Chain A
Amino acid sequence: MASVHSTPRRQSARRLVVACLAACVGVIALDSLLFRTGLYTAILEPDSSTGLFEMVLRRNLDAQEHHGNRMVATFGNSRFAWSPKVVDQRPGPHKYVLCDAGVAGSDARAWYYMIRDLDPTARRYRALVFGVDDYDDEDRFYNPSDDIRDLHYVIERLRLYDVFEFARSFDSRELQFAALRGGLLKGIVFQNDLHAFLADPRKRLEYVSLCDRFRNMWVYNFEETTNSMAGLEIDWQTLKVTFPPGLNDDQIATVNSFLAHQPEPQIGRIAAFQRTWYGRIIDRYRGSPTKIVFLRLPRGPIPRPDNLTHKLSSSIREFASRPNVILLDEHAFESLEHPELFRDGMHLNREGIRQFSYMLEDEITRVLDGAGK
């Protein structure tokens, strides 16, 4: 009797197990069909985090076809603001072609995944240039490891085998789970974008087409505001700020959050983050002719004194001992640290960008030529 009963029970258990496994495979297959084949990339909102990241990546892939091996790619967030147009219009020969691969709000983790697809052989560029806030490590109010925006930037670049490693790179359990979930089933990350597309597909397609045709031109011709922070004063003893008249809330907020803030406890999280992600980028280029260049960006309209925070480490300086890593003189861009050249507490204005673009090209040419000798 027992076997009569147990056989159908075993069969039904087997059926359920097979069905559950097949369902998991099925949903990953459906997800992959839509989001891992490039099908959805074609209709992605151009102004979304993913859309911007992908646009920058595509622009740089296109540039590779035109400029051969003279290319130098720059990676940074919105603070690493230089203008390709200003550089191109500068008289005289340009030994290297500078390409902007920076994305506002991005960080080394996002750049790692971009670089992996931008340069699969690790030999396409003469140099990769990274703009950093400081060569010393200063922990700020945010934890860079827990910046979930990275998931949205790199989602198109994540492969199935990346997912666990990428998820583990977040510190909080909640974000690890969100990254794991989103990496496995990309539809969850693209959900809002998909809903916006479905709300008005025609409008989206028209905008995508418009951006495909003109976006690079818009970006190339974009000119930053001429607003400046002239008149800004900061008393570093009391952190009291005297603002010039007529500033808007954003300008004031950037000064308060980026410059005139109390030091945070130094617990080494920025050092750990940079060691991990710049470390991985540098490891990719071990034995490659491509140079990895770090530069310290202009620190602000009035630079924050070094003695305000007791910085415990300098992960960027540690990289200088690697064979293909170059650190530009950290004082190279200090001449730009004037309120007249900044539009807010952290970003250069039009004139600042113009001067920075020239200096950047000169510095890159100088160190690469020097490295070549």
Chain B
Amino acid sequence: MLFNTTHFFLFLAVVLVLFYSSPRVLRRYILLFASYFFYGSWNVKFIPLLLTLTAIDYTAGMWIERTPVGPRRKGLLVMSLSANLGFLGFFKYYNFLAYNLCLLLGKPTRSFFWDIVLPLGISFHTFQSMSYVVDVYRGQQKAVRDPIDYALYICFFPQLVAGPIVRAHDFFRDLLDWHPPTGDDVSQGLLLVFFGLTKKMAFADQFAKVANDYFAHVAAYPGWHAAWSGVIAFGMQIYFDFSGYTDMAIGMAKLLGFHFPVNFRRPYLAGSITDFWRRWHISLSSWLRDYLYISLGGNRKGHWMTYRNLMITMLLGGLWHGASWNFLIWGGYHGGLLAVERAVRGDRPISDKWTWLYPLKAALTFLLVMIGWVFFRAADLTQSRHVLAQMFSKASAHGLLVPWHIGLIALALVLAVAEEKLDWFDRVAKAPALVYASAFALMFFCLELFGVIDAQIPFIYFQF
């Protein structure tokens, strides 16, 4: 049940009606049932796995809280993390490791292959679950007493399959002290849902057609022009796809009285790679910062250890996306860029002031990020090398983006800069009814003219 389908909107409408027409005491159960139904609609076989992880971390949280600081408490944490990483490792990385082991041992590459289907959203709910256990271990979060509450935290349908990765204190603050959404919340939530849908269907899916075509027939599109347009198309696709999904998730949560943190802050306007990672998939980058980078020592142990920590964090961040050398290289590429920036900048904080130099810095950052996407999108290393070689070749052929694609990018750029400077989104959400309605009418019109309606292109991050 994709977010951009009629079925999902019917499901959402039924959930909203049931939720608000039921006594408060039943509402958590309704959300829990709806969330399992939503997850089961993809593949009911994975519900037991979800329940198992939920039970393990719920129990671990309770035990860790009861256990005084010491090796036993740490042991419980390690057991919980091992269970989470064990499941994640088995489902996500087993075949990758087996393949590479076969290569090392000189065996046929499918000797140890198992036909494993990756459970939907496992990377997201595992990280969410792990953050809870670590927070309890660190004493930053009280263990949740009610298993229903904890189960809902793990499987809440708006963010179950592709995030944002919500921290326990944010979720339980809303759940345990639930208030009906305010008028502004509802206005903003609805606007976010349809803004996200427009991003997905009118922008991401249109760029997906170009990117999918290019990466499926790389050899048929020689020259730097085609290569850059294919890569930029993917850069646009992944941003609009993922941020569109996130907007919808945040919007739906708002309609249900929950407040999720922002996950994207116009990342392609970033003035540096460091800035980019403060704007892109914020819930993951802050997770990596809080639970990995800082645990490794962060920047407290000298320059070289900082660079090492950045590199390890980004390598693992890359690997989180998928089991392939390409994701590892993508992570390493960003880790390397972050380390270089850190070395050049020293300990000075990054500046987000818009000076005359800012557009140049933003353009350079954009180009560097686009180069990184080659590894993210290409089927394998051979294709990555080929695309990069084409991007920097002198051969020219026709590009794949037509004028209206450029128009969509220009429109998005104008809206992004306006949001950065004027905060128009919140203003529209609170504006008089006619202004608010005009925004919806324009979004619907955009969907009508540019929305990919008859082909369902899945959200990219659903595969992670």
Name A residues whose Cβ lies closer than 8 Å to a Cβ of B. 8-9, 11-13, 15-16, 18-27, 29-31, 185, 187-188, 191, 194-195, 198-201
Q: Which residues of A contact B434 (CB under 8 A)?
A: 19, 22
Q: Is B117 an interface residue (CB 8 A)?
A: no
Residue in A11, A13, A19, A198 with the greatest tally of chain B CB atoms within 10 Å = A19
Chain A residues near B445: list those with CB within 8 A.
26-27, 30-31, 187
Cβ contact within 8 Å between B433 and A31: no
Q: Hey, which chain A residues are within 8 Å of B433, CB to CB?
A: 15-16, 18-19, 22
CA distance A195 to B404 in the complex (A): 7
Residue contact A18 to B449, C-beta cutoff 8 Å: no
Contact partners of B449 in chain A: CB under 8 A: 187, 191, 194
Contact stretch, chosen from B84-92, B136-144, B182-190: B182-190
Note all chain A residues with C-beta closer than 8 A to B186. 12, 16
Say yes or no: A23-B187 contact (C-beta < 8 A), given A15-B436, A191-B450, A199-B403. no
Q: Are B453's CB and A23's CB within 8 A?
A: no
Is B440 an interface residue, CB under 8 A from the partner? yes
Contact A188 B448 (CB under 8 A): yes
Assess whether B414 is interfacial by the CB under 8 Å rule. Answer: no
Shortest C-beta distance, A158 to chain B (Å), equals: 16
**4 interchain residue pairs of minimum CB distance:** A12-B183, A26-B441, A23-B440, A22-B437
Task: Contact check, A23 vs B183: say whether CB atoms are below 8 A apart.
Answer: no
Partner of A27, one of B190, B403, B444: B444
Q: A16-B190, A19-B433, A198-B403 are in contact. Are A27 and B448 (CB under 8 A)?
A: yes
Taking CB atoms, residues of chain A closer than 8 Å to B5 are none
A165 to B346, CA, bound (A): 70
Asked whether, in the complex, the Cβ of A20 is within 8 Å of the Cβ of B437, the reply is: yes
A27 touches B441 (CB 8 A): yes
Interface check B438, CB cutoff 8 A = yes
A27 partner residues in chain B, CB cutoff 8 A = 440-441, 444-445, 448
Chain B contacts with A in 385-441, Cβ cutoff 8 A: 402-404, 407, 432-434, 436-438, 440-441
Q: Which residues of B contact A195 (CB under 8 A)?
A: 402, 404, 450
**A200 with B437: in contact, given A9-B183, A187-B449 (CB under 8 Å)?**
no
CB distance from A118 to the nearest CB of B (A): 29
Q: Which of A8, A9, A25, A187 contacts B448 (CB 8 A)?
A: A187
Chain B residue nearest to A17 (CB atoms) is B433
Inter-subunit contact A200/B187 (CB<8 Å): no
A254 to B402 Cα, complex, angstroms: 38
CA distance A70 to B1 in the complex (A): 60
Nearest B residue to A184 via CB reads B448
CA distance A107 to B329 in the complex (A): 58
Which residues from chain B contact A21 at a C-beta distance below 8 Å?
437
B436 touching A19 by the CB < 8 A rule?
yes
> How far apart sit A285 and B216, CA to CA, in the bound complex (Å)?
56
Q: CA separation between A204 and B187, bound complex, in Å?
A: 42
Q: Given contacts A18-B433, A191-B450, are A23 and B441 in contact (CB under 8 A)?
A: yes
B448 touches A185 (CB 8 A): yes
Secondary structure dominating the interface of B: helix
Give which listed residue, A11, A23, A187, contacts B437 with CB less than 8 A: A23
Q: In the complex the two chains form, what is the Cα distance from A168 to B377 in whole Å?
A: 44
CA A18 – CA B432 in complex, angstroms?
A: 10
With most chain A CB atoms within 10 A of its CB, the pick from B402, B432, B437 is B437
Asked if residues B183 and A11 are in contact (CB atoms below 8 Å), the reply is: yes
Number of interface residues of B (CB under 8 A): 25
Closest to A189 in B: B448
In angstroms, Cα B445 to Cα A323, docked, is 48
B182 cross-chain contacts in A, Cβ below 8 A: 12
Closest to A186 in B: B448
CB distance from A371 to the nearest CB of B (A): 48
Q: How far is the CA of A23 from the CA of B441 in the complex (A)?
A: 5
In the complex, what's the smallest C-beta–C-beta distance from A210 to chain B, in angstroms? 21
Given A12-B183, A22-B433, CB of A188 within 8 Å of CB of B453: yes
- For A30, the chain B residues whose CB sits under 8 A away are 441-442, 445
CA–CA, A22 and B436, complex, Å: 9
Residue ID in chain B nearest A5 by CB atoms: B180
User: A9-B183, A198-B407 in contact; A22/B441 too (CB < 8 A)?
Assistant: yes
| Closest chain A residue to B182, Cβ basis | A12
Residues from chain B with a CB closer than 8 A to the CB of A19 are: 433-434, 436-437, 440
Bound-state CA distance A18–B183 (Å) is 14
Contacts of A187 in B (CB 8 A): 445, 448-449
* Besides A16-B187, A23-B440, 19 other A-B contacts (C-beta < 8 A): A9-B183, A12-B184, A13-B183, A22-B438, A22-B441, A23-B438, A23-B444, A26-B441, A27-B445, A30-B442, A185-B448, A187-B449, A191-B448, A191-B453, A195-B404, A198-B404, A198-B407, A200-B403, A201-B403
Can you identify 7 A-B contacts, CB atoms within 8 angstroms?
A15-B436, A16-B187, A24-B441, A27-B448, A187-B445, A195-B450, A199-B402
How distant is the Cα of A199 from the Cα of B437 in the complex, in angstroms? 30
For B444, the closest partner residue in chain A by CB is A27
- Interface 0/1 of B154-192, CB less than 8 Å to A: 000000000000000000000000000011101100100
CA distance A21 to B444 in the complex (A): 13
Task: Tell me how far the C-beta of A1 lies from the nearest C-beta in chain B, rounded to whole angstroms.
Answer: 15
* Residues of chain B lying within 8 A (CB to CB) of residue A29: 441
Contact status B404-A199, CB under 8 Å = yes
- The smallest beta-carbon distance between B52 and chain A, in angstroms, is 39
Assembled-state Cα–Cα distance A198/B411 (Å) = 15
Taking the closest CB of chain B, its distance from the CB of A2, in whole angstroms, is 14
Say how far B7's CB is from chain A's closest CB, in angstroms. Answer: 13
> For residue A23, which residue of chain B has the nearest CB?
B440
Asked if B402 and A198 make an inter-chain contact with CB atoms under 8 angstroms apart, the answer reads yes
Among residues of B, the one whose C-beta sits closest to the C-beta of A30 is B445
Which of B402, B438, B441, B442 has the most chain A CB within a 10 Å cutoff? B441
The distance from the CB of B315 to the nearest CB of chain A, in whole angstroms, is 41
- In the bound complex, how far is the Cα of B444 from the Cα of A29, in angstroms? 12
Residue of B at shortest CB range from A190? Answer: B449
Q: Decide: B187 and A31 in contact? CB cutoff 8 A.
A: no
Q: Which residues of A contact B187 (CB under 8 A)?
A: 12, 15-16
Report the minimal beta-carbon distance from A174 to chain B, rounded to whole angstroms.
10
Interface centre among A25, A29, A191 (most CB of B within 10 A): A191
Query: By CB atoms of chain B within 10 A, which of A8, A9, A29, A30 has the most?
Result: A30
Contact partner of A26 among B184, B190, B437, B450, CB < 8 A? B437
Q: Which residues of A contact B440 (CB under 8 A)?
A: 19-20, 23, 26-27
Compute how far the CA of A84 lies from the CA of B184 in the bound complex, rounded to whole angstroms. 67
Enumerate chain A residues within 8 angstroms of B184, measured Cβ to Cβ.
12
Chain B contacts for A198, CB-based, 8 A: 402-404, 407
